[in-house]
């Protein structure tokens, strides 16, 4: 009986040894097929965008690891809760791209002027991740300067012109265009291209090792300071776009209107924030033009200048200062060095030409 058992074990071992290469081959084939499908999906997503197809920089440092979410008080909103890695998403704001999806869950929203005097948004997430964000559009040269204050955030965008790819590759960001995270993107069949590319943030962050956790970017929160001018509404105008912020005492936030129309989420709720900053900066011509020949503006977010901070139904004249690319922005009241405090919750920053 012992001899029979030993013989049976020997035959099983021999069979397993012969089958192992076959199983390995099948596994290799399956992995190759999945990679081919992912590359095919990325190519299809890039049909209507100038996608970044350069080498994935997330593979260059094998010692970096994903930033696991923690719990604490957010330096972006002063709200306690989940603190995940910092994800910035470039969001289309053309009339055909509205309403946006997932913008209501952003900790920060930056409003930028782009070609032709129109606008584009950059939403920054950490505390809450929506199921979907979009429509996602392309990055700009000045985004690199703006994002430096976050350490090494992830940046999701539809693509960039080829001349900017080297700058983004060298920048301290984890790039997440469709070519780097094809499983995180999809196109909606209810909108026309190019306003139909959407991102799944959780899936995208799986492709972004080494992303920074939230850190101090210069904001201070607390009770409203003395002074300020009563303001029921505040309007910011670009050459081809406008934003109006109406104070809602009942909701305790500024409700957003874009181009004269109430801004709503994809679920029909009004967009708004407890604190809005109109930050006057230098807006100059960059070294790029769009496909129609229009010059791409460069927004200088490093330097000093004037700003208007809206909170609690008042407008506060302030001064802003950001010394370097990797530092945050401080906002102070004109009388001395007292820091301007923000209301707890999401913050919108609207950059306008000084």
Inter-residue contact 247 to 230 (CB < 8 Å): no
Q: Which two tokens stand for residue 267?
A: 């679920």
pLDDT at 288 > cutoff 80: no
How far is the C-alpha of 324 from the C-alpha of 321, rounded, in Å?
A: 9
Residue 58: pLDDT band by 50, 70, 90 thresholds?
very low
Inter-residue contact 212 to 86 (CB < 8 Å): yes
In sign, the C-alpha dihedral spanning 135, 140, 145, 151 is positive
Instruction: Note the pLDDT of residue 160.
Output: 85
| DSSP state at residue 170 | H
Inter-residue contact 140 to 72 (CB < 8 Å): no
Inter-residue contact 157 to 144 (CB < 8 Å): no
* Residue 54 CB burial class (10 angstroms; 0-12, 13-18, ≥19): middle
Could you write out the DSSP letters of every residue in 188-222? -TTS-TTTTEEE-HHHHHTT-TTPPPP---S--BS
Domain residue ranges of the chain, discontinuous segments joined by +? 229-277+303-353
Residue 163: pLDDT band by 50, 70, 90 thresholds?
confident
How far is the C-alpha of 166 from the C-alpha of 217, rounded, in Å?
A: 26
pLDDT at 43 > cutoff 90: no
pLDDT tens for 244-287 read 999 999 999 999 999 999 999 999 999 999 999 999 999 999 88
pLDDT at 32 > cutoff 70: no
pLDDT at 2 > cutoff 70: no
Instruction: Note the pLDDT of residue 26.
Output: 53
Residue 23: pLDDT band by 50, 70, 90 thresholds?
very low
Strands 154-156 and 174-176, bridge-based pairing: parallel
Q: Cα–Cα–Cα angle for 129, 81, 223, nearest 5°?
A: 110
Residue 30: pLDDT band by 50, 70, 90 thresholds?
low
Instruction: Note the pLDDT of residue 123.
Output: 98
């Amino acid at each position: 009986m012992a001899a029979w058992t030993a013989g049976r074990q020997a035959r099983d071992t021999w069979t397993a040894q012969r089958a192992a290469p076959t199983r390995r081959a099948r596994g290799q084939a399956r992995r190759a097929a999945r990679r081919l499908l992912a590359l095919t999906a990325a190519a299809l997503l890039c049909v209507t965008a100038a996608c970044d197809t350069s080498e994935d920089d997330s593979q260059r440092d094998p010692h970096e690891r994903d930033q696991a979410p923690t719990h604490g008080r957010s330096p972006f909103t002063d709200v306690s809760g989940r603190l995940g890695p910092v994800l910035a998403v470039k969001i289309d704001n053309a009339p055909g791209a509205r309403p946006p999806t997932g913008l209501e869950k952003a900790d920060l929203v930056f409003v930028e002027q782009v070609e032709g005097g129109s606008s584009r948004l950059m939403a920054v997430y950490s505390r809450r991740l929506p199921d979907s964000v979009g429509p996602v559009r392309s990055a700009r040269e000045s985004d690199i300067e703006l994002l430096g204050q976050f350490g090494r955030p992830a940046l999701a965008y539809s693509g960039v012109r080829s001349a900017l790819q080297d700058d983004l590759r060298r920048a301290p960001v984890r790039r997440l265009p469709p070519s780097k995270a094809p499983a995180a993107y999809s196109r909606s069949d209810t909108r026309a291209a190019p306003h139909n590319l959407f991102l799944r943030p959780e899936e995208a962050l799986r492709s972004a090792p080494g992303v920074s956790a939230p850190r101090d970017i210069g904001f201070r929160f607390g009770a409203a300071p003395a002074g300020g001018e009563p303001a029921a509404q505040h309007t910011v105008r670009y050459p081809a776009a406008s934003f109006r912020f109406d104070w809602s005492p009942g909701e305790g936030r500024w409700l957003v209107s874009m181009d004269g129309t109430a801004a709503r989420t994809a679920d029909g709720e009004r967009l708004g924030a407890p604190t809005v900053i109109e930050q006057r900066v230098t807006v100059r011509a960059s070294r790029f033009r769009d496909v129609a020949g229009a010059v791409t503006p460069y927004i200088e977010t490093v330097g000093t200048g004037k700003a208007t901070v809206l909170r609690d139904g008042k407008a506060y004249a302030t001064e802003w200062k950001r010394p370097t690319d990797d530092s945050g922005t401080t906002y102070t009241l004109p009388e001395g060095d007292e820091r301007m405090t923000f209301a707890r919750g999401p913050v919108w920053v609207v950059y306008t030409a000084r």
